[in-house]
Structure 1
Amino acid sequence: MEEIINLLSGRLVTAKEIDQTDEFMASLKIPGLQIFPAIEKSGSRLTCLRCGNRTNFHQNICQCDLIECLYCLQCLNFGKLRTCDKLYHLEETATAHYWKRNQSYLAWSGTLSEQQAQASEEICQSYQTGGQRLVWAVTGAGKTEMVFEAVNQALMAGGKVALATPRIDVANELAPRFKAAFPEVTIQLLHGQSEESYSGAAFTIGSTHQLIRFKAAFDLLIIDEIDAFPYDGDPMLYFASVRAVKESGAQVLLTATPSPSHEKQIKEGKMPVSILPARYHRHRLPVPVHRWVGDWQSLIQAGKVPIVFKRLLSQLLKRRRRVLIFMPHIDRMLTFVKLCQQAFADYRFESVSSKDPDRISKVQNMRDGHYDFLFSTTILERGVTFANIDVIVLGSEDQTFTTAALVQISGRVGRKPKWPSGDVYFLHYGKTKASNAAIRQIKTMNEQARKRGLIDD
């Protein structure tokens, strides 16, 4: 019984998702257990109570007694949810959990910079008062370390904490960092590829998709990279992230590129914000440079390497720079890589994409200095760090390269204190609003950092 209570507390799940049946659940006498129809009907309006969908339903072939049984199309990836299904929820206890204590859980021995310390204090204040806070921090500002103290305070108070991110690889990278910072805390890693299942742990790290199974569960929810796909622009994931927090809880949103709606809320004073315009190593952000490359796609189709690209890459390589080259589409990238094998036969290089089964090993080879340059789609726009590199974006006019993507791509350069600078080139067949906005945003952050005395160059 205790195990089932743990699986239901602060969650919204079907019986099948906790390896039970509706018949068994009906036989339980758990005080406070709430049972909801999976798809609620009010007049002619339907609402999926798991994901909030009100429009996308499909007729279900079912053996139930209902005249019309439908299923939700919006959250189908989480398992078919039908009109005849039930969702179970047990309110997360209002009292502190067994891990409440007066002694700090935080074992991290690092030191925060001045701006990190200020942001950390503001995040802690938001945890104490509840509500939302946006942390707008440039790439390389050290966002992870800034949330440590708020996580610590929530755990010491016996509360539940979650950190969600749109990308599984980022969750995998963050989990060991938090486990090292909080070695005495049970931390679960939940996403579609992890082998763990939820057990009511004090601290949950996972993909934003996992939030769809929670309701009023967390005292502190941190969402990293809110500008990243698939969280950005997905109303289902936004709905789930709001519902997952307790009414008295706090939600901390981390981003390097706020959405226009968030920027509007900031200007109107409706969104508390912590702005960190500088990297922790006190050097300015590299500012991208536009360079005309012409109709590069037609040149590649004709079996030619664009001369502007060839000259630029050759110059960088002669300066013994390693280069990360971003292209918008996999098929065009693979074609271009073959052309470059002839044009740059004396150099070592590879390509990676979301479809590349050897992506992880190739990225590590780049880190270890085994390649002179590496081609990539936007799969490497965030979540990876290479020392001492320059960046070329070939085809920056492509709609794949949003402002957020270009800011993140530019942020791959100069992240290490030993190599705090580097060059970023947008090779284009026409400047775009997105590329202009990315450059403008980076310049603005540098100006703010300089005014606040946060950078030395």
Structure 2
Amino acid sequence: MNSNPLSSVASFLSGRLLLEEELPFSLPDSSVDILQGITSRNHSFYCSRCGNDREERFAFFPCARCGTSCPYCRHCLMMGRISGCSRLIRWTGPEPPVEGDGTLQWSGRLSEGQLAASMAVKKAVQEKGECLIWAVCGAGKTEVLFQGVEEALLSGKRACIATPRTDVVLELAPRLQRVFPGIRVTALYGGSPDRHVYSPLVVSTTHQLFRFLEAFDVMIVDEVDAFPYSYDASLQFATQKARKPESSLIYLTATPNEAWQEECRSGKRPFVKIPARFHRQPLPVPVMTWCGRWRRAIEKGKLPPVVKEWTLQRLKDGKQALLFFPHIDLMEQALPLFQALHPHVEAVHAEDLKRKEKVTLMREKKLALLLSTTILERGVTFPNIDVAVIGAEDDVFTESALVQIAGRAGRSAEFPDGEVRLFHFGRTRAMMKAVDHIRQMNKEGLEKGWLDR
């Protein structure tokens, strides 16, 4: 921290909304506001941190601090318990000066679609406006942000890129640090070493935004359709709370929900659409293949014949593959069956403590196959893989999830072709809508002249 004590406090607290017990120093005598952690509102409790006002998400505990049966918020408990006698601290003094040079250091070139989106992002930053970038998986959404982020940094603004999943933060932060080497890029997620560092460019999980209040001039929400952000109103509340009253808001997604798509069509929502990947090759269209009673087969210790045949072909060709399962227990039952075909096979899921290491092994081509739940449906890139979904008829595989999963294949300019196979015991509306969605994007990309074939 800065040697000036007041400057150090400002750097730690600026833009944050923290519990008093989270401070590593004594509470300053000035330049702070103190908010009550839980208040009463409309005959119910209200959490000042996450916005929760649902009665069933509060409980009581015998509090040693106030000596009463104290209410606490169960909804944001993973961020540290906030109770009726908790105090939230907010910095009201001047913001620390932005240190470093925010000049973009990137020699790549944008495609036509990327360029149109990049200009829209930059305009939203300049005008404190709002914009949706609707871009297919693999369109190069991160590169679309570069010029807008540079505009913010060179204007002395503070920017945040928020995403629902830790995996995406871990992949995105180093990429941004490489192209903005003159400033510090911080990565915020549960247990992050950067959690107390002040910087002008923050990459954060949406959960970490609970700890901010009116901090950012530019808020960019990546994968806005992803779970849990799309289903959790408190995460959407946290995103709005973390923005300054006058600020820019930019959304990124490959699969906006139906309501947003209708707003785009009717002109109610400003957006730019990129229906083609930067390498000018079409999106792989999923092939639907009936595989019989796959659950029963796995429970009996066998792989469905068509799944086994597909897998053996990948292994014969030396092609890595991602295989998605709807549930952890079925995936773990299937893992030894695949390991019997090849020794270098692993499985990952959200609670897997070695998830990061296994993804790295896959990237380094030390794994032939990686089984996964929907945790890897987005945010990770492997250059040359085929993709399969086992049990694509399961409810967990929504249209959005299937489009994202299909988007794992063919992302690299060196390997633009990849096969996507949906193994199922019955076609669903989500499966057919996902295939139609991808075909429609390919059609639009061809009509715009953004595809070579």
Give the alignment's TM-score, normalised by structure 1: 0.91
AA aligned opposite 1:46: F
Matches within 5 A, 1:288-303: 288-303=286-301
Alignment match, 2:147: 149
2:283 is the alignment partner of 1:272: no
Alignment of 1:210-225 (within 5 A): 210-225=208-223
Tell me the equivalent position of 1:38: 37
The equivalent of 1:239 in structure 2 is 237
CA shift at 1:88, angstroms? 2.2
Deviation at 1:320, TM superposition (A): 4.6
Quick one: which of 305, 308, 312 aligns to 2:306? 308
Unaligned residue ranges in structure 2 (runs of 5+): 1-5
Letter in 2 for 1:251: L
Aligned to 1:111: 109
Alignment-mate amino acid for residue 351 of structure 1: E
Cα distance change, pair 64–367 in 1 and its aligned pair in 2 (3 A): closer
Summarize deviations over 1:325-345 as a string: whole Å, max 9, x none.
222222222222323444x3x
Q: Do 1:96 and 1:159's aligned partners in 2 also have CA atoms closer than 8 Å? A: no
Q: Does 1:422 align with 2:421?
A: no
- State whether residues 350 and 362 of structure 1, in contact with CA within 8 Å, keep that contact through their aligned partners in structure 2: no
Structure 2 SS opposite 1:384: coil
| Aligned counterpart, 1:14 | 19
The one-letter amino acid paired with 1:325 is: L
SS of the residue corresponding to residue 19 of structure 1 reads coil
2:415 is paired with a residue whose SS is coil
Cα separation, 2, equivalents of 1:151 and 1:92: 25
Query: How many angstroms does 1:78 deviate by?
Result: 0.9
Q: Is contact 1:92-1:216 (8 Å) kept?
A: no
Alpha carbons of structure 1 residues 60 and 112: separation in structure 2 relative to 1, 3 Å: same
* Partner amino acid, structure 2, of 1:84: C
- Whether 1:350 aligns to 2:348 is no
Deviation (angstroms), 1:181: 0.8
Q: Does 1:284 align with 2:282?
A: yes
Per the TM alignment, residue 361 of structure 1 is displaced from its structure 2 partner at its CA by 4.0
Q: CA deviation at 1:68?
A: 5.7
Q: CA deviation at 1:9?
A: 2.5
Inter-CA distance 96–88: structure 2 relative to 1 (3 Å threshold): closer
**Corresponding position of 2:62:** 61
The amino acid of 1:271's aligned partner reads: R
Per the normalisation by structure 2, the TM-score is 0.92
Please, which of 395, 406, 411 is the counterpart of residue 402 of structure 2? 406
Selected match of 1:138 from 136, 139, 151 = 136
Does the C-alpha gap of structure 1 residues 249 and 321 become closer, same or farther in structure 2, counting only changes over 3 Å? same
Distance 1:122 1:96 in 2: 29
- What code does the residue aligned with 1:39 have? I
How much does 1:349 deviate?
Answer: 3.8
8 Å CA contact retained: 1:386, 1:412: yes
Q: 1:241 to 1:356 in 2, by over 3 A?
A: closer
Whole-Å separation in 2 of the counterparts to 1:290 and 1:180: 40
Give, in whole Å, the separation in 2 of the partners of 1:379 and 1:104. 33
The separation in 2 between residues aligned to 1:67 and 1:310, in whole angstroms, is 62
Aligned equivalent of 2:158, options 152, 157, 160: 160
Query: Contact 2:138–2:278 at 8 Å: present in 1 too?
Result: yes
Residue identity over aligned pairs, in percent, reads: 40
Q: For each residue in 1:214-241, what CA deviation from the matched residue of structure 2 results, as whole angstroms up to 9, or x when unmatched?
A: 1111111112122222222111111000
Deviation at 1:120, TM superposition (A): 0.4
Amino acid of the structure 2 residue aligned with 1:454: W
Query: Against the structure 1 CA distance between its residues 364 and 29, is the aligned structure 2 distance closer, same or farther, given a 3 Å change threshold?
Result: closer
The residue number in structure 2 matching 1:252 is: 250
Structure 1 residues 373, 35: closer, same or farther in 2, change over 3 A? Answer: closer
TM superposition shift of 1:350: 0.6
Task: Give the Cα–Cα distance (whole angstroms) in 1 for the partners of residues 339 and 158 of structure 2.
Answer: 52
- SS of equivalent to 2:225: coil
On the 8 A contact 1:294/1:429 being kept in 2, the answer is yes
Deviations 1:319-370 (A, max 9, x none): 554332222222222222323444x3xx444122124444444434433444
Contact 1:190 1:198 (8 Å CA) reproduced: no
Instruction: For structure 1, list consecutive stretches of 5 or more residues without a partner in the other structure.
Output: none
User: Quick one: structure 1 residues 11 and 361, their matched pair in 2 at CA, closer, same or farther if it must change by over 3 Å?
Assistant: closer
Letter in 2 for 1:373: L
C-alpha deviation, 1:177, in angstroms: 1.0
* CA distance 1:435–1:201, change in 2 (3 Å): same
In structure 1, what residue type is equivalent to 2:346? S
The C-alpha deviation readout for 1:99-158, integer Å capped at 9, x for no partner, is 49xx86111121111111110000111112223211111111111111111111111111
Q: Are 2:447 and 1:451 equivalent residues in the alignment?
A: yes
RMSD between superposed Cα atoms in Å: 2.3
Which amino acid in structure 2 is aligned with residue 17 of structure 1?
E
Please name the residue that 1:48 is paired with. 47
- 1:97–1:159: 8 Å Cα contact kept in structure 2? no
SS at match of 2:214: coil
SS of residue paired to 2:444: helix
Distance change in 2, residues 1:96/1:367 (3 Å): closer
Output the amino acid matched with 1:88. I
1:315 CA displacement: 4.0
